[in-house]
């Protein structure tokens, strides 16, 4: 008889407290450092706090992965209770979180660490799938194999209102950011082989770009009907969000359209009014 299974993820999965509770997904938070102060991502520092500080003095936080010891303590607590664990991390191309978790798991048995090759609710989709498999009685090993195969079918993308935060965070040059802002370009980014890459440059008001982006991402796609996410980084007009949720529901046919706000780890790189639609293809 297989052991009971814990599903966990680092905090970059951007699942809401309601979804984490509903699917019993445990979280290992990254650390947000701002000056001399440190906060746990998703627990004591929000994107709104971050934007307020940035507009006050131009300061952006730094993010750091949990240490090997953090992961070891977390995993050990469940292993000692007789559980096996399937754990997800942000793409290893973007953070050291996966490598730290893998090194910790090497010290134990029955801990399966998955490089999601994704970020944000692209990870969350895999974690929910793993939780649903657990609830159907699958073993940790079988869940790990299944979700590893499923990664290639996850569509993770976003459209940005501005490149200012990516420039400030060292992810693009000032010339690139200036040129994009001057031309009112809204970059469309998607995860490819674990890296976040520009796939299209939209133009126009961001509210119009959202609709164009969503329509292009969903039209003609065979989407798994269970879950789809609209994930944004804050400051998107609620009326616009309501309109976009109706559009996503109409185009995707998904049973549940989840709206989530990204944590500080993701939002610190993309800035306010970033929005993505994330789903799993059939």
What does each C-alpha distance from 247 to 129, 183, 210, 230, 250 come to in angstroms?
Answer: 24, 27, 10, 11, 5
Give the range among 105-114, 167-176, 240-249 with minimum mean pLDDT.
167-176
What does each C-alpha distance from 102 to 13, 56, 96, 111 come to in angstroms?
Answer: 17, 39, 10, 9
CATH of the domain at 188: 3.30.1180.10
Residues 232, 120: one domain?
no
In DSSP notation, 129-154 reads HHHHHHHTT--HHHHHHHHHHHGGGE
Question: Residue 181's pLDDT is what?
Answer: 55
> Exposed/middle/buried for 36, CB within 10 Å: 0-12, 13-18, 19+?
exposed
Work out how many domains the chain is built from and give that number: 2
Q: Which domain holds residue 225?
A: 156-281
Residues 102, 197: one domain?
no
What's the whole-number average pLDDT of the chain?
91
For residues 234-253, give the mean pLDDT: 96
Residues 10, 106: one domain?
yes
Residues 72, 90: one domain?
yes
Tokens of residue 77, six digits? 């607590």
Residues 69, 165: one domain?
no
Question: Residue 268's pLDDT is what?
Answer: 87
Question: Residue 169's pLDDT is what?
Answer: 54
Kindly state whether residue 56 falls inside one of the protein's structural domains. Answer: no
For residues 230-234, give the mean pLDDT: 96
Residues 120, 259: one domain?
no
Question: Residue 99's pLDDT is what?
Answer: 98
Question: Residue 202's pLDDT is what?
Answer: 94
Question: Residue 265's pLDDT is what?
Answer: 87
Question: Residue 178's pLDDT is what?
Answer: 36
Kindly state whether residue 54 falls inside one of the protein's structural domains. Answer: no
Question: Residue 62's pLDDT is what?
Answer: 87
CATH of the domain at 127: 3.40.50.10170
Question: Residue 175's pLDDT is what?
Answer: 33
Model confidence at 41: pLDDT above 90: no
State what percent of residues in the chain have pLDDT above 90.
75
| pTM for the full predicted model | 0.94
Tokens of residue 58, six digits? 């131009």
**Per-residue pLDDT tens for 172-220?**
443 344 344 544 789 899 999 999 888 999 999 999 999 999 999 999 9
Phi and psi angles of residue 265, each rounded to the nearest 5 degrees, phi first: -60, -45
Contact 158/266 with Cβ under 8 angstroms?
no
Residues 140, 190: one domain?
no
Q: How far apart are CA 215 and CA 248, in angstroms?
A: 8
């Amino acid at each position: 008889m297989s052991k009971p299974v814990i599903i966990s993820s680092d905090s970059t999965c951007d699942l809401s407290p309601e979804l984490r509770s509903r699917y019993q997904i445990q979280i290992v938070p990254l650390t947000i450092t701002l000056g001399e102060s440190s906060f746990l991502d998703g627990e004591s520092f929000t994107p709104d706090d971050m934007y307020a500080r940035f507009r006050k003095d131009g300061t952006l936080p730094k993010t750091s992965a949990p240490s090997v010891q953090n992961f070891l303590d977390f995993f050990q607590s469940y292993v000692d209770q007789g559980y096996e664990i399937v754990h997800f991390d942000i793409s290893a191309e973007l953070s050291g979180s996966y490598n730290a978790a893998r090194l910790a798991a090497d010290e134990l048995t029955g801990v399966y660490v998955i490089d999601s090759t994704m970020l944000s609710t692209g990870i969350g989709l895999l974690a929910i799938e793993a939780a649903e498999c657990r609830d159907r009685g699958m073993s940790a090993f079988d869940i790990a194999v299944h979700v590893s195969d499923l990664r290639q079918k996850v569509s993770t993308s976003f459209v940005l209102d501005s490149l200012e935060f990516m420039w400030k965070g060292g992810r693009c040059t000032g010339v690139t950011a200036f040129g994009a802002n001057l031309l009112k370009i809204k970059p469309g980014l998607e995860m490819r082989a674990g890296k976040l890459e520009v796939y299209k440059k939209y133009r126009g008001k961001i509210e119009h770009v959202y609709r164009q982006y969503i329509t292009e991402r969903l039209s003609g796609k065979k989407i798994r009907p269970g879950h789809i996410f609209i994930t944004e980084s804050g400051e998107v007009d609620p009326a616009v969000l309501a309109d976009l949720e109706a559009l996503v529901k109409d185009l995707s046919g998904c049973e549940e359209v989840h709206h989530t706000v990204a944590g500080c780890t993701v939002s610190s790189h993309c800035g306010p009014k970033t929005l993505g639609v994330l789903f799993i293809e059939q």
